[in-house]
Amino acid sequence: MKILRLNHGLRGDIRVPGDKSISHRSILISSLGDTPIEITNFLKGADCLSTIACMRAMGVKIQEYENKILVTGKGLNGLSEPNDVLNAGNSGTTLRLLLGLLAPQKFMTTFTGDDSLKSRPMDRVIKPLIEMGANIVGRNKNKNLPITVIPSVKKIQGIVYKMPVASAQVKSAIMLAGLYADGVTKIIELYPSRDHTEKMLEAFGVNINKLHNEISLFPIKKIIAPSKIDISGDISSAAYWIVLATILKDSDIIIKDVGINETRTGIIDVLKNMGANIEISNERISGGEKYADIHVMTSKLHGVTFGAEIIPRLVDEIPIIAVAAAFAEGDTIIRDAGELRVKETDRLKAIVNEFGKIAPGTFEALEDSLIIHGGHIFNFAKCKTYDDHRMAMSLAIFGAAANGVEIDNPGCIKISYPDFYNILER
C-alpha cells in the first residue's frame, strides 16, 4: 500500500475504536458471570476476536451484534474442556491472561498461535503460575508455544510475587488465577503497569486492595456481574492521530471519548514535555475507567529523555513517539525499552531498519534504548511492517507527514484498528 504525503493539516472531530486491553478483559471476566452482560464499543479487532473464539470453545455464549456483544457466562466454575487446541493468533493478551484463568480449572487445554506469538516469551507467566501450584508445560523449557495447561492435583495457592518485568499481562494472569486460590495473592510492581484488570474485577465484586505498588487480591466464590460494560476509546489508537495532528501544519482536531486511565497516558505526558499543544476536556468516569476528549493542535516539538518509570504507561506508543521525535528539534533518548524487543516483532530493530529508510541516520538502538536525532530530511521509502500492526500504522503516519511511504502487508492493522486506513483517507 502506498501512502502519499499529506499537504494539508487535520481538522475536525473523530472517534477511535474501543480499547483493546479492556475489550479482552470484558470478554474474559464476563465469561465468569452467569447473567447476560451487554458490552458496547467492543473492539472487533483480530486479537479480541481470538479471545472470543477461545471463550466460545469453552462453552461461553457470546453473541455479536452490530453495536454490541452479549456474553452469557457459566459462572466461575462453569467453563468446559475445549475439544481442540485453542489458537490465540497474534494476541499475547489472549494467551497470557488465559493461562492464568485456566491454571485453576479442572480440565486440560493446549494453546497455539501465529509465528510471532510462538517466538514470544511465555515463561514470565508460566513461572509464577507454577509457583501458585499450576501444572503447565511448554516447548523450549516452558518458554514458548505450544503450551498445555494440565489440571493440578493441588489447589492453587495465593503467593507474594515481585514482578521482575513490568507487565500487565503477567500481573493479570496471576490475578485471574488468584480468584480461585487458597489465600490472598499479592503482587508487587516496580512501576505500575496498566490496571484495567484490577478495575474490571472490582466492578465484578472482587476485593482488591492497592497500597503504593502492591496489589492484594482476595479469592471469590461468585462473581457479581454488572449488566453493562461500555468500553472507552483506545488511547493507543488515538496516539496515531495525536502525533499526526501535532506534526502536520495547520491541524486542529478533537478525538472524542478516549480512555485516559492514568496507567495509559504516558504518551500525552511525553508529547507535552516535547512542546505539544494537547488539551484534555470533558472528563468523566464509567465502570471505573476515565474518559475524556483530547484536543490536539499543531506544535513545534523538541527532543526529550525518558525511561523506566514511564515506559509501562506508553509501552505500545514508542514507535509513534519515535515518529514524533524525528520531527522534533534535537535528540530524544528513550531508555529501559528492552520490552520492545519481545512485542509482536522486535520493535527496536524494526524502527531502526524501517523508519531509518525514511530518515537515514535518525534512529539508533542500543540493547534496551532508542536514540532519535530529530530534524532530518525525509525520503519516500518502501518499508516492511514485520506484520506488526503498530509498525504498519506508525509507518503510515510517518509517510503521510514526511514524503510518502510504501508498506508491505498493510492488512496487519486489523489486529487493533481495522478502520485505520479509511480514517486516514478521510
The residues that touch ligand S3P, with contacts defined as CB under 6 A, are 21, 24, 93, 167-169, 172, 193-194, 315-316, 339
CA–CA dist 29, 76 (Å, integer)? 9
**With respect to ligand S3P, which residue has the nearer C-beta, 116 or 169?**
169
**Which amino acid is present at 301?**
L
How far apart are CB 99 and ligand S3P at their closest, in Å?
13
Cβ 10 vs Cβ 245: under 8 Å: yes
Out of 316, 331, 368, 388, pick the active-site residue: 316
**With respect to ligand S3P, which residue has the nearer C-beta, 79 or 168?**
168
**With respect to ligand S3P, which residue has the nearer C-beta, 251 or 347?**
347
How far apart are CB 80 and ligand S3P at their closest, in Å?
25
Closest CA to 289 of 226, 222, 240: 226
**With respect to ligand S3P, which residue has the nearer C-beta, 158 or 312?**
312
Q: At what angle do helices 92-102 and 46-57 cross, to 10 degrees?
A: 30
**With respect to ligand S3P, which residue has the nearer C-beta, 93 or 105?**
93
Write the DSSP assignment of 141-200 as a string of letters: HHTEEEEEEE--SSPPB--EEE-SS--HHHHHHHHHHHTTSBS-EEEE-SS----HHHHH
How far apart are CB 282 and ligand S3P at their closest, in Å?
25
Residues in the chain: 426
C-alpha cell at 128: 509464577
How far apart are CB 112 and ligand S3P at their closest, in Å?
19
**With respect to ligand S3P, which residue has the nearer C-beta, 231 or 315?**
315
Helix H or strand E segment including 396: helix 389-401
How far apart are CB 13 and ligand S3P at their closest, in Å?
26
How far apart are CB 380 and ligand S3P at their closest, in Å?
30
Residue nearest to ligand S3P (CB): 21
316 assigned to active site: yes
CA–CA dist 93, 45 (Å, integer)? 13
Count Cα atoms within 13 angstroms, Cβ side, for 82. Answer: 19
Cβ 188 vs Cβ 175: under 8 Å: no
The DSSP letter of residue 44 is -
Cβ 178 vs Cβ 185: under 8 Å: yes
How far apart are CB 333 and ligand S3P at their closest, in Å?
21
Which ranges constitute the DSSP H helices of 63-154? 92-102, 115-118, 123-131, 139-142
CA–CA dist 320, 315 (Å, integer)? 11
**With respect to ligand S3P, which residue has the nearer C-beta, 93 or 116?**
93
How far apart are CB 129 and ligand S3P at their closest, in Å?
15
CA–CA dist 98, 304 (Å, integer)? 38
**With respect to ligand S3P, which residue has the nearer C-beta, 196 or 328?**
196
Count Cα atoms within 13 angstroms, Cβ side, for 223. Answer: 28
The phi-psi region of residue 404 (left if phi > 0; otherwise alpha if psi is between -120 and 50; otherwise beta) is left
By three-state DSSP, how is residue 370 classified? strand
Distance of CA 134 to the CA centre of its chain: 26
The two most distant CA atoms of the chain are separated, in Å, by 64
Active site residues: 316
